[in-house]
Amino acid sequence: MSVTVSGVPGVLGGRDLDRLTATVAFLRDRGTGDALAAVVGAEPSACLVRHLEFGRAAVFVASARPAGLVGVLAGLGVDAPEPRPDEVVRGRAGQELDVRVVRGAVGSREVRLLVPRAEMPEAEREAESHVAFRVTDADDVVLRGACATLRDSGLTPDGGGYDGQDTTLCFRGTTRLVLHAPGHHAEALEHHLGRPDQPRRSMLDLMTGAWRTRAVAAAAELGIADQLADGPLDTADLAARTGSRPDKLRRVLAYLAGLGVLGRDGERWSLTEVGTLLRDDVAGSQRDLARIYGGLFYRSFSGLEHAVRTGESGFSHVYGAQPFEHFAANPADARLFEGAMAAGTAFLGLVPGLLDLPDTGTVVDVGGGDGRLLDLVLAAGPGLRGVLFDRPHVIGAATDVLAGHGARASVVAGDFFHDPVPSGADLYLLSRIMHDWDDERCSVILRNVRAAMAEGATLALVERPIQGDPRTLLPLAFNVHMMVNTVQGGERTTEEHRSLLAANGFVLDDIRELPLDMAVLVARAAV
Protein backbone atom coordinates (compact mmCIF):
# COMPACT_ATOMS: atom_id res chain seq x y z
CA MET A 1 0.00 0.00 0.00
CA SER A 2 1.41 3.41 -0.92
CA VAL A 3 0.33 6.55 0.90
CA THR A 4 1.57 10.10 1.19
CA VAL A 5 0.51 12.09 4.22
CA SER A 6 1.79 15.43 5.47
CA GLY A 7 3.66 15.23 8.75
CA VAL A 8 2.61 16.59 12.12
CA PRO A 9 5.08 19.37 13.05
CA GLY A 10 7.10 18.56 16.14
CA VAL A 11 5.45 15.16 16.51
CA LEU A 12 6.02 13.03 13.41
CA GLY A 13 7.73 13.51 10.05
CA GLY A 14 6.01 12.78 6.76
CA ARG A 15 7.95 9.58 5.96
CA ASP A 16 7.33 8.11 9.42
CA LEU A 17 3.65 9.06 9.13
CA ASP A 18 3.46 7.35 5.74
CA ARG A 19 4.82 4.14 7.24
CA LEU A 20 2.51 4.37 10.25
CA THR A 21 -0.56 4.92 8.04
CA ALA A 22 0.35 1.96 5.83
CA THR A 23 0.98 -0.21 8.90
CA VAL A 24 -2.43 0.58 10.43
CA ALA A 25 -4.09 -0.31 7.12
CA PHE A 26 -2.04 -3.53 6.99
CA LEU A 27 -3.25 -4.51 10.47
CA ARG A 28 -6.87 -3.85 9.51
CA ASP A 29 -6.84 -5.55 6.13
CA ARG A 30 -4.67 -8.65 6.51
CA GLY A 31 -5.42 -12.00 8.05
CA THR A 32 -2.61 -14.24 9.29
CA GLY A 33 -2.13 -15.96 5.93
CA ASP A 34 -2.17 -12.69 3.96
CA ALA A 35 0.27 -11.07 6.39
CA LEU A 36 2.66 -14.02 6.16
CA ALA A 37 2.44 -14.01 2.36
CA ALA A 38 3.35 -10.31 2.31
CA VAL A 39 6.43 -10.88 4.45
CA VAL A 40 7.58 -14.16 2.90
CA GLY A 41 6.77 -13.15 -0.67
CA ALA A 42 4.88 -16.37 -1.42
CA GLU A 43 1.80 -18.26 -0.29
CA PRO A 44 2.61 -19.75 3.14
CA SER A 45 1.85 -23.37 3.96
CA ALA A 46 -1.48 -24.12 5.61
CA CYS A 47 0.40 -25.76 8.49
CA LEU A 48 2.36 -22.58 9.21
CA VAL A 49 -0.79 -20.43 9.09
CA ARG A 50 -2.57 -22.85 11.44
CA HIS A 51 0.08 -22.49 14.15
CA LEU A 52 0.62 -18.71 13.98
CA GLU A 53 -1.57 -15.72 14.79
CA PHE A 54 -0.92 -12.26 13.39
CA GLY A 55 -1.20 -9.93 16.36
CA ARG A 56 1.01 -6.87 16.16
CA ALA A 57 3.07 -4.49 14.08
CA ALA A 58 5.72 -2.12 15.38
CA VAL A 59 6.90 1.09 13.73
CA PHE A 60 10.05 2.89 14.84
CA VAL A 61 9.60 6.65 14.52
CA ALA A 62 11.46 9.82 15.44
CA SER A 63 9.49 12.25 17.59
CA ALA A 64 10.40 15.17 19.83
CA ARG A 65 6.96 14.97 21.52
CA PRO A 66 5.97 11.29 22.01
CA ALA A 67 2.83 12.35 23.91
CA GLY A 68 1.57 13.91 20.68
CA LEU A 69 1.58 10.50 19.00
CA VAL A 70 -1.66 9.66 20.81
CA GLY A 71 -3.36 12.36 18.74
CA VAL A 72 -1.72 11.10 15.53
CA LEU A 73 -3.11 7.62 16.18
CA ALA A 74 -6.53 9.06 16.96
CA GLY A 75 -6.46 10.78 13.58
CA LEU A 76 -6.00 7.32 12.03
CA GLY A 77 -8.93 5.91 14.01
CA VAL A 78 -6.72 4.16 16.57
CA ASP A 79 -7.36 4.43 20.31
CA ALA A 80 -4.19 4.77 22.36
CA PRO A 81 -3.38 5.53 26.00
CA GLU A 82 -0.63 7.90 27.04
CA PRO A 83 2.98 6.85 26.20
CA ARG A 84 4.46 4.30 28.55
CA PRO A 85 7.70 4.94 30.47
CA ASP A 86 10.96 4.11 28.81
CA GLU A 87 11.66 0.43 28.26
CA VAL A 88 14.26 -1.68 26.52
CA VAL A 89 13.33 -3.66 23.43
CA ARG A 90 15.41 -6.12 21.50
CA GLY A 91 16.49 -4.98 18.07
CA ARG A 92 18.27 -6.68 15.21
CA ALA A 93 21.08 -9.11 16.00
CA GLY A 94 20.05 -8.93 19.67
CA GLN A 95 21.08 -5.33 20.40
CA GLU A 96 19.08 -3.54 23.10
CA LEU A 97 17.27 -0.30 22.25
CA ASP A 98 16.03 2.23 24.81
CA VAL A 99 12.64 3.45 23.56
CA ARG A 100 9.41 5.22 24.57
CA VAL A 101 6.40 3.07 23.63
CA VAL A 102 2.96 4.20 22.43
CA ARG A 103 0.45 1.39 21.92
CA GLY A 104 -2.82 1.51 20.03
CA ALA A 105 -5.59 -1.01 19.32
CA VAL A 106 -6.48 -1.81 15.72
CA GLY A 107 -9.41 -4.15 16.20
CA SER A 108 -8.05 -7.21 18.00
CA ARG A 109 -4.49 -6.33 16.99
CA GLU A 110 -1.97 -3.86 18.29
CA VAL A 111 0.16 -1.19 16.68
CA ARG A 112 3.22 -0.06 18.59
CA LEU A 113 5.07 3.17 18.01
CA LEU A 114 8.64 2.89 19.29
CA VAL A 115 10.46 6.19 19.78
CA PRO A 116 14.22 5.65 20.32
CA ARG A 117 15.84 7.79 22.99
CA ALA A 118 19.04 7.93 20.95
CA GLU A 119 19.13 9.27 17.41
CA MET A 120 18.36 6.59 14.83
CA PRO A 121 18.69 7.21 11.05
CA GLU A 122 15.54 6.84 8.97
CA ALA A 123 16.84 3.76 7.11
CA GLU A 124 17.54 2.05 10.42
CA ARG A 125 14.07 2.95 11.74
CA GLU A 126 12.57 1.30 8.68
CA ALA A 127 14.77 -1.77 9.12
CA GLU A 128 13.81 -2.17 12.79
CA SER A 129 10.06 -1.88 12.15
CA HIS A 130 8.40 -5.28 12.05
CA VAL A 131 5.30 -7.43 12.11
CA ALA A 132 4.82 -9.95 14.93
CA PHE A 133 3.12 -13.32 15.11
CA ARG A 134 2.36 -15.41 18.16
CA VAL A 135 2.84 -19.18 18.13
CA THR A 136 -0.54 -20.55 19.16
CA ASP A 137 0.84 -23.92 20.25
CA ALA A 138 4.12 -23.35 22.06
CA ASP A 139 5.25 -26.95 21.67
CA ASP A 140 8.98 -27.26 20.90
CA VAL A 141 8.31 -29.38 17.82
CA VAL A 142 5.82 -26.83 16.45
CA LEU A 143 8.24 -23.98 17.11
CA ARG A 144 11.13 -25.76 15.39
CA GLY A 145 8.89 -26.57 12.43
CA ALA A 146 7.69 -22.97 12.12
CA CYS A 147 11.26 -21.69 12.19
CA ALA A 148 12.41 -24.23 9.62
CA THR A 149 9.52 -23.31 7.31
CA LEU A 150 10.34 -19.61 7.55
CA ARG A 151 14.01 -20.29 6.80
CA ASP A 152 13.07 -22.49 3.84
CA SER A 153 10.91 -19.60 2.58
CA GLY A 154 14.02 -17.42 2.30
CA LEU A 155 13.95 -15.59 5.65
CA THR A 156 17.18 -15.40 7.65
CA PRO A 157 17.62 -15.39 11.45
CA ASP A 158 17.92 -11.83 12.75
CA GLY A 159 18.25 -11.94 16.52
CA GLY A 160 16.02 -12.94 19.39
CA GLY A 161 15.99 -13.62 23.13
CA TYR A 162 14.00 -14.52 26.25
CA ASP A 163 12.44 -11.80 28.42
CA GLY A 164 11.34 -13.95 31.35
CA GLN A 165 7.96 -14.71 29.80
CA ASP A 166 8.25 -15.21 26.03
CA THR A 167 10.88 -16.51 23.66
CA THR A 168 11.34 -14.10 20.76
CA LEU A 169 12.79 -15.23 17.42
CA CYS A 170 13.35 -12.59 14.73
CA PHE A 171 13.69 -13.13 10.98
CA ARG A 172 14.72 -10.86 8.14
CA GLY A 173 12.87 -10.86 4.81
CA THR A 174 11.50 -7.96 2.79
CA THR A 175 10.03 -6.97 6.17
CA ARG A 176 11.30 -7.96 9.59
CA LEU A 177 9.21 -10.73 11.17
CA VAL A 178 9.10 -11.52 14.89
CA LEU A 179 7.81 -14.77 16.41
CA HIS A 180 6.68 -14.83 20.05
CA ALA A 181 6.33 -18.17 21.82
CA PRO A 182 5.18 -18.38 25.46
CA GLY A 183 7.81 -19.83 27.79
CA HIS A 184 11.53 -20.39 27.61
CA HIS A 185 12.55 -22.43 24.56
CA ALA A 186 16.29 -22.53 25.13
CA GLU A 187 17.13 -25.14 22.48
CA ALA A 188 15.17 -23.36 19.75
CA LEU A 189 16.74 -20.05 20.74
CA GLU A 190 20.27 -21.45 20.66
CA HIS A 191 19.65 -23.03 17.27
CA HIS A 192 18.26 -19.73 16.00
CA LEU A 193 20.99 -17.48 17.37
CA GLY A 194 23.89 -19.90 17.15
CA ARG A 195 26.44 -20.40 19.88
CA PRO A 196 28.31 -17.46 21.41
CA ASP A 197 31.41 -18.59 19.52
CA GLN A 198 29.48 -19.24 16.30
CA PRO A 199 31.42 -16.86 14.00
CA ARG A 200 34.74 -18.49 14.95
CA ARG A 201 33.18 -21.94 14.76
CA SER A 202 31.76 -21.18 11.30
CA MET A 203 35.11 -19.93 10.06
CA LEU A 204 36.84 -23.04 11.43
CA ASP A 205 34.28 -25.22 9.65
CA LEU A 206 35.06 -23.40 6.41
CA MET A 207 38.81 -23.77 6.84
CA THR A 208 38.60 -27.49 7.61
CA GLY A 209 36.31 -28.33 4.71
CA ALA A 210 39.25 -30.03 3.04
CA TRP A 211 39.31 -32.54 5.88
CA ARG A 212 35.73 -33.56 5.14
CA THR A 213 36.48 -33.88 1.43
CA ARG A 214 39.45 -36.14 2.06
CA ALA A 215 37.65 -38.25 4.68
CA VAL A 216 34.80 -38.95 2.25
CA ALA A 217 37.29 -39.64 -0.55
CA ALA A 218 39.21 -42.07 1.69
CA ALA A 219 35.96 -43.92 2.44
CA ALA A 220 35.30 -44.12 -1.31
CA GLU A 221 38.81 -45.36 -2.11
CA LEU A 222 38.66 -47.97 0.67
CA GLY A 223 35.23 -49.16 -0.43
CA ILE A 224 33.75 -48.71 3.08
CA ALA A 225 30.19 -48.34 1.77
CA ASP A 226 30.43 -51.49 -0.33
CA GLN A 227 31.62 -53.44 2.69
CA LEU A 228 28.62 -52.21 4.69
CA ALA A 229 26.10 -52.92 1.92
CA ASP A 230 24.84 -56.11 3.60
CA GLY A 231 24.60 -54.63 7.08
CA PRO A 232 26.61 -53.23 10.01
CA LEU A 233 30.17 -54.34 10.71
CA ASP A 234 32.49 -53.65 13.61
CA THR A 235 35.77 -51.78 13.35
CA ALA A 236 37.94 -54.89 13.32
CA ASP A 237 35.94 -56.47 10.47
CA LEU A 238 36.08 -53.31 8.39
CA ALA A 239 39.80 -52.93 9.01
CA ALA A 240 40.46 -56.52 7.92
CA ARG A 241 38.34 -56.17 4.80
CA THR A 242 39.91 -52.87 3.73
CA GLY A 243 43.50 -53.60 4.74
CA SER A 244 43.49 -50.84 7.35
CA ARG A 245 44.76 -50.42 10.90
CA PRO A 246 41.78 -50.63 13.27
CA ASP A 247 42.87 -47.79 15.57
CA LYS A 248 43.45 -45.39 12.67
CA LEU A 249 40.33 -46.45 10.78
CA ARG A 250 38.18 -45.93 13.88
CA ARG A 251 39.10 -42.23 13.94
CA VAL A 252 38.01 -41.73 10.33
CA LEU A 253 34.81 -43.74 10.84
CA ALA A 254 33.90 -41.65 13.89
CA TYR A 255 34.45 -38.47 11.88
CA LEU A 256 32.29 -39.80 9.04
CA ALA A 257 29.58 -40.70 11.55
CA GLY A 258 29.69 -37.13 12.85
CA LEU A 259 29.27 -35.90 9.28
CA GLY A 260 26.20 -38.08 8.77
CA VAL A 261 27.84 -40.49 6.31
CA LEU A 262 27.78 -43.44 8.70
CA GLY A 263 25.65 -44.57 11.62
CA ARG A 264 27.37 -45.72 14.83
CA ASP A 265 26.40 -48.12 17.59
CA GLY A 266 29.46 -48.49 19.78
CA GLU A 267 32.05 -50.22 17.59
CA ARG A 268 29.55 -51.18 14.88
CA TRP A 269 29.13 -49.02 11.79
CA SER A 270 26.29 -48.82 9.27
CA LEU A 271 25.35 -46.77 6.22
CA THR A 272 23.08 -43.75 6.36
CA GLU A 273 21.03 -42.63 3.36
CA VAL A 274 23.86 -40.24 2.51
CA GLY A 275 26.56 -42.88 2.91
CA THR A 276 24.72 -45.28 0.63
CA LEU A 277 25.60 -42.98 -2.29
CA LEU A 278 29.24 -44.10 -1.88
CA ARG A 279 28.32 -47.67 -2.81
CA ASP A 280 29.55 -48.69 -6.23
CA ASP A 281 26.44 -50.70 -7.11
CA VAL A 282 23.56 -48.28 -6.43
CA ALA A 283 21.71 -46.08 -8.88
CA GLY A 284 23.14 -42.57 -8.71
CA SER A 285 26.35 -43.74 -7.04
CA GLN A 286 28.68 -40.84 -6.27
CA ARG A 287 31.70 -42.94 -5.40
CA ASP A 288 33.71 -41.81 -8.44
CA LEU A 289 32.74 -38.20 -7.77
CA ALA A 290 34.06 -38.55 -4.22
CA ARG A 291 37.28 -40.03 -5.53
CA ILE A 292 37.88 -37.32 -8.15
CA TYR A 293 36.86 -34.40 -5.89
CA GLY A 294 39.08 -35.77 -3.16
CA GLY A 295 41.91 -36.68 -5.53
CA LEU A 296 42.52 -35.21 -8.98
CA PHE A 297 40.44 -32.04 -8.51
CA TYR A 298 41.44 -31.73 -4.87
CA ARG A 299 45.03 -31.31 -6.02
CA SER A 300 44.10 -29.00 -8.92
CA PHE A 301 42.40 -26.65 -6.45
CA SER A 302 45.82 -25.89 -4.98
CA GLY A 303 46.16 -23.83 -8.17
CA LEU A 304 43.19 -21.60 -7.27
CA GLU A 305 45.32 -18.62 -6.22
CA HIS A 306 47.39 -18.98 -9.40
CA ALA A 307 44.18 -18.93 -11.49
CA VAL A 308 42.93 -15.81 -9.70
CA ARG A 309 46.24 -13.97 -10.11
CA THR A 310 47.06 -14.93 -13.69
CA GLY A 311 43.80 -15.96 -15.36
CA GLU A 312 45.41 -19.26 -16.29
CA SER A 313 43.98 -22.70 -15.55
CA GLY A 314 44.81 -23.96 -12.07
CA PHE A 315 44.69 -27.52 -13.43
CA SER A 316 47.41 -26.90 -16.00
CA HIS A 317 49.49 -25.07 -13.37
CA VAL A 318 49.40 -28.15 -11.14
CA TYR A 319 49.54 -30.93 -13.74
CA GLY A 320 51.42 -29.24 -16.58
CA ALA A 321 48.66 -29.88 -19.14
CA GLN A 322 45.03 -29.05 -19.78
CA PRO A 323 42.51 -31.63 -18.49
CA PHE A 324 41.84 -33.51 -21.72
CA GLU A 325 45.55 -33.58 -22.58
CA HIS A 326 46.19 -34.97 -19.12
CA PHE A 327 43.48 -37.62 -19.55
CA ALA A 328 44.89 -38.68 -22.91
CA ALA A 329 48.23 -39.36 -21.22
CA ASN A 330 46.78 -40.90 -18.04
CA PRO A 331 44.15 -43.55 -18.87
CA ALA A 332 43.36 -44.33 -15.22
CA ASP A 333 42.48 -40.69 -14.55
CA ALA A 334 40.45 -40.63 -17.77
CA ARG A 335 38.39 -43.62 -16.63
CA LEU A 336 37.82 -42.01 -13.25
CA PHE A 337 36.74 -38.77 -14.92
CA GLU A 338 34.28 -40.61 -17.16
CA GLY A 339 32.82 -42.40 -14.14
CA ALA A 340 32.55 -39.16 -12.19
CA MET A 341 30.83 -37.39 -15.07
CA ALA A 342 28.36 -40.26 -15.40
CA ALA A 343 27.64 -39.99 -11.66
CA GLY A 344 27.05 -36.28 -12.06
CA THR A 345 24.33 -36.80 -14.68
CA ALA A 346 21.80 -38.72 -12.58
CA PHE A 347 19.40 -35.80 -13.04
CA LEU A 348 19.31 -36.34 -16.83
CA GLY A 349 16.47 -38.85 -16.44
CA LEU A 350 14.20 -35.93 -15.55
CA VAL A 351 15.11 -33.81 -18.57
CA PRO A 352 12.82 -35.45 -21.19
CA GLY A 353 9.79 -34.69 -19.02
CA LEU A 354 10.66 -30.97 -19.14
CA LEU A 355 11.12 -30.70 -22.91
CA ASP A 356 7.54 -30.61 -24.32
CA LEU A 357 8.54 -33.32 -26.78
CA PRO A 358 6.55 -33.43 -30.02
CA ASP A 359 4.90 -36.70 -31.07
CA THR A 360 7.02 -36.82 -34.23
CA GLY A 361 10.03 -35.01 -35.59
CA THR A 362 13.77 -34.90 -35.03
CA VAL A 363 15.95 -34.11 -32.03
CA VAL A 364 19.63 -33.21 -32.45
CA ASP A 365 21.91 -33.49 -29.42
CA VAL A 366 24.84 -31.17 -30.15
CA GLY A 367 27.95 -32.30 -28.31
CA GLY A 368 25.94 -35.25 -27.02
CA GLY A 369 28.92 -37.22 -25.77
CA ASP A 370 28.11 -40.80 -24.83
CA GLY A 371 24.51 -40.49 -26.03
CA ARG A 372 22.84 -40.98 -22.67
CA LEU A 373 20.61 -37.90 -22.85
CA LEU A 374 19.50 -38.62 -26.41
CA ASP A 375 18.81 -42.22 -25.41
CA LEU A 376 16.49 -40.97 -22.65
CA VAL A 377 14.75 -38.53 -24.99
CA LEU A 378 14.11 -41.18 -27.64
CA ALA A 379 12.78 -43.56 -24.99
CA ALA A 380 10.35 -40.85 -23.84
CA GLY A 381 9.32 -39.98 -27.43
CA PRO A 382 8.86 -43.21 -29.39
CA GLY A 383 7.76 -41.27 -32.49
CA LEU A 384 10.93 -39.17 -32.63
CA ARG A 385 14.13 -39.51 -34.59
CA GLY A 386 17.41 -38.57 -32.94
CA VAL A 387 20.78 -37.40 -34.22
CA LEU A 388 23.86 -37.17 -32.04
CA PHE A 389 26.51 -34.73 -33.24
CA ASP A 390 29.99 -34.81 -31.67
CA ARG A 391 33.67 -35.20 -32.43
CA PRO A 392 34.84 -38.38 -34.17
CA HIS A 393 36.77 -39.79 -31.19
CA VAL A 394 33.71 -39.41 -28.91
CA ILE A 395 30.90 -40.96 -30.93
CA GLY A 396 31.97 -44.59 -30.55
CA ALA A 397 30.41 -44.90 -27.12
CA ALA A 398 27.25 -43.11 -28.31
CA THR A 399 26.81 -45.58 -31.17
CA ASP A 400 26.65 -48.43 -28.64
CA VAL A 401 24.28 -46.57 -26.29
CA LEU A 402 21.85 -45.64 -29.08
CA ALA A 403 21.93 -49.01 -30.86
CA GLY A 404 18.67 -50.10 -29.22
CA HIS A 405 16.71 -47.44 -31.09
CA GLY A 406 17.62 -48.88 -34.46
CA ALA A 407 17.02 -46.63 -37.46
CA ARG A 408 15.47 -43.92 -35.25
CA ALA A 409 18.94 -42.93 -34.01
CA SER A 410 21.97 -41.87 -36.00
CA VAL A 411 25.39 -40.51 -35.12
CA VAL A 412 27.12 -37.76 -37.09
CA ALA A 413 30.78 -36.88 -36.58
CA GLY A 414 31.68 -33.21 -36.44
CA ASP A 415 33.03 -30.31 -34.43
CA PHE A 416 30.43 -27.75 -33.33
CA PHE A 417 32.99 -24.95 -33.72
CA HIS A 418 33.82 -25.67 -37.35
CA ASP A 419 31.38 -28.10 -38.99
CA PRO A 420 27.73 -27.60 -40.02
CA VAL A 421 25.28 -28.82 -37.38
CA PRO A 422 22.63 -31.25 -38.73
CA SER A 423 19.78 -29.08 -39.97
CA GLY A 424 16.01 -29.03 -39.97
CA ALA A 425 15.31 -30.58 -36.54
CA ASP A 426 12.44 -29.58 -34.27
CA LEU A 427 14.50 -29.62 -31.08
CA TYR A 428 18.21 -29.05 -30.43
CA LEU A 429 19.96 -29.95 -27.17
CA LEU A 430 23.10 -28.46 -25.65
CA SER A 431 23.67 -30.25 -22.37
CA ARG A 432 26.43 -28.89 -20.13
CA ILE A 433 28.28 -27.42 -23.10
CA MET A 434 28.05 -23.67 -22.51
CA HIS A 435 29.78 -23.73 -19.13
CA ASP A 436 32.94 -25.06 -20.77
CA TRP A 437 33.53 -21.94 -22.86
CA ASP A 438 33.68 -18.15 -22.74
CA ASP A 439 31.09 -15.93 -24.45
CA GLU A 440 33.04 -15.68 -27.69
CA ARG A 441 33.33 -19.44 -28.13
CA CYS A 442 29.74 -20.00 -26.97
CA SER A 443 28.60 -17.50 -29.58
CA VAL A 444 30.29 -19.57 -32.28
CA ILE A 445 28.43 -22.68 -31.06
CA LEU A 446 25.08 -20.87 -30.84
CA ARG A 447 25.43 -19.30 -34.28
CA ASN A 448 26.22 -22.70 -35.80
CA VAL A 449 23.18 -24.21 -34.11
CA ARG A 450 20.98 -21.27 -35.14
CA ALA A 451 22.09 -21.64 -38.75
CA ALA A 452 20.77 -25.21 -38.72
CA MET A 453 17.39 -24.29 -37.20
CA ALA A 454 14.16 -23.14 -38.78
CA GLU A 455 12.44 -20.14 -37.24
CA GLY A 456 10.41 -21.25 -34.20
CA ALA A 457 12.43 -24.42 -33.57
CA THR A 458 13.42 -25.05 -29.94
CA LEU A 459 16.82 -25.06 -28.28
CA ALA A 460 17.14 -26.56 -24.78
CA LEU A 461 20.23 -25.81 -22.71
CA VAL A 462 20.98 -27.92 -19.64
CA GLU A 463 23.09 -25.79 -17.32
CA ARG A 464 23.50 -24.73 -13.68
CA PRO A 465 22.57 -21.02 -13.72
CA ILE A 466 23.81 -18.77 -10.93
CA GLN A 467 20.80 -17.59 -8.96
CA GLY A 468 20.11 -14.31 -7.22
CA ASP A 469 19.89 -16.01 -3.82
CA PRO A 470 23.46 -16.06 -2.40
CA ARG A 471 22.57 -19.07 -0.26
CA THR A 472 22.26 -21.18 -3.42
CA LEU A 473 25.89 -22.19 -3.27
CA LEU A 474 26.30 -24.99 -5.82
CA PRO A 475 26.34 -22.75 -8.92
CA LEU A 476 28.78 -20.40 -7.18
CA ALA A 477 31.01 -23.31 -6.18
CA PHE A 478 30.98 -24.81 -9.66
CA ASN A 479 31.76 -21.39 -11.12
CA VAL A 480 35.03 -21.48 -9.17
CA HIS A 481 35.56 -25.15 -10.05
CA MET A 482 35.29 -24.34 -13.76
CA MET A 483 37.73 -21.46 -13.37
CA VAL A 484 40.30 -23.78 -11.80
CA ASN A 485 39.85 -26.76 -14.09
CA THR A 486 39.21 -25.19 -17.50
CA VAL A 487 40.78 -22.38 -19.49
CA GLN A 488 37.60 -20.55 -20.45
CA GLY A 489 34.75 -22.18 -18.54
CA GLY A 490 32.34 -20.81 -15.96
CA GLU A 491 28.69 -20.78 -14.89
CA ARG A 492 26.45 -17.89 -15.91
CA THR A 493 23.56 -16.04 -14.34
CA THR A 494 20.13 -16.36 -15.91
CA GLU A 495 20.45 -12.85 -17.34
CA GLU A 496 23.86 -13.67 -18.81
CA HIS A 497 22.33 -16.71 -20.51
CA ARG A 498 19.46 -14.57 -21.77
CA SER A 499 21.81 -11.94 -23.22
CA LEU A 500 24.11 -14.50 -24.82
CA LEU A 501 21.16 -16.24 -26.46
CA ALA A 502 19.64 -12.97 -27.66
CA ALA A 503 22.93 -11.90 -29.23
CA ASN A 504 22.94 -15.08 -31.29
CA GLY A 505 19.39 -15.34 -32.57
CA PHE A 506 17.42 -16.86 -29.70
CA VAL A 507 14.74 -15.82 -27.25
CA LEU A 508 14.81 -17.40 -23.79
CA ASP A 509 11.22 -18.49 -23.08
CA ASP A 510 11.38 -20.53 -19.88
CA ILE A 511 13.59 -21.96 -17.15
CA ARG A 512 12.62 -25.35 -15.74
CA GLU A 513 14.28 -26.50 -12.54
CA LEU A 514 16.17 -29.76 -12.03
CA PRO A 515 17.74 -31.21 -8.85
CA LEU A 516 21.06 -29.90 -7.55
CA ASP A 517 20.34 -26.40 -8.91
CA MET A 518 20.49 -27.57 -12.52
CA ALA A 519 17.92 -26.25 -14.99
CA VAL A 520 16.63 -26.62 -18.53
CA LEU A 521 16.68 -23.23 -20.28
CA VAL A 522 14.17 -23.39 -23.13
CA ALA A 523 14.77 -20.98 -26.02
CA ARG A 524 13.36 -20.59 -29.51
CA ALA A 525 14.94 -19.48 -32.74
CA ALA A 526 14.02 -15.85 -33.35
CA VAL A 527 13.48 -14.11 -36.66
Least confident of 33-47, 245-259, 270-284, 399-413: 33-47
Range with the lowest mean pLDDT among 29-33, 83-87, 126-130?
83-87
Task: Find the catalytic residue in 130, 185, 326, 435.
Answer: 435
What are the domain boundaries of the chain?
Answer: 14-194, 206-294, 301-343, 346-525
Closest CA to 506 of 455, 437, 433, 435: 455
* Angle (nearest 5°) at CA 138 between 137 and 140: 120
25: number of CA atoms within 13 Å, CB side? Answer: 9
Please say if the pLDDT value at position 208 is more than 90: yes
How far apart, in whole angstroms, are the C-alpha atoms of residue 347 and residue 354? 12
107-121, 153-167, 426-440 — which one is most confidently predicted on average?
426-440
pLDDT at 4: 39
pLDDT bucket at 192, cuts 50 / 70 / 90: confident
CATH number corresponding to 206-294 = 1.10.10.10
Q: Are 159 and 93 in contact (CB under 8 A)?
A: yes
d(C-alpha 413, C-alpha 398), whole Å: 11
Would you say 89 and 99 are in contact if contact means Cβ atoms under 8 Å apart?
yes
Distances (CA, A) of 149 to 31, 47, 142, 171, 175: 19, 10, 10, 12, 16
* Cβ contact 456:505 at 8 Å: no
Is 184 marked active-site? no
* Mean of pLDDT values over 424-436: 96
Fold of 14-194: 2,3-Dihydroxybiphenyl 1,2-Dioxygenase; domain 1 (3.10.180)
Side-chain half-sphere CA neighbours of 118 within 13 A: 6
Determine contact, residues 53/70, Cβ cutoff 8 Å.
Answer: no
**pLDDT tens figures, 140-167:** 888 988 999 999 888 988 888 888 888 9
**pLDDT > 90? residue 316:** yes
Q: What number is the average pLDDT over the span 82-101? A: 64
At the topology level of CATH, where does 346-525 sit?
Answer: Rossmann fold (3.40.50)
Residues 6+ apart with CB under 8 A from 404: 375
Q: What is the mean pLDDT of residues 280-294?
A: 94
Q: What is the pLDDT of residue 402?
A: 95
Instruction: Report the pLDDT value the prediction gives residue 26, as an integer from 0 to 100.
Output: 94
pTM: 0.69
- pLDDT, tens digit (0-9, with 9 covering 90-100), for 341-380: 888 777 899 999 999 999 999 999 999 998 999 999 999 9
| DSSP-derived pairing of the beta strands 268-271 and 262-265 | antiparallel
Residues sharing a CB contact under 8 Å with residue 336, sequence separation 6 or more, in sequence order: 288, 291, 292, 295, 296
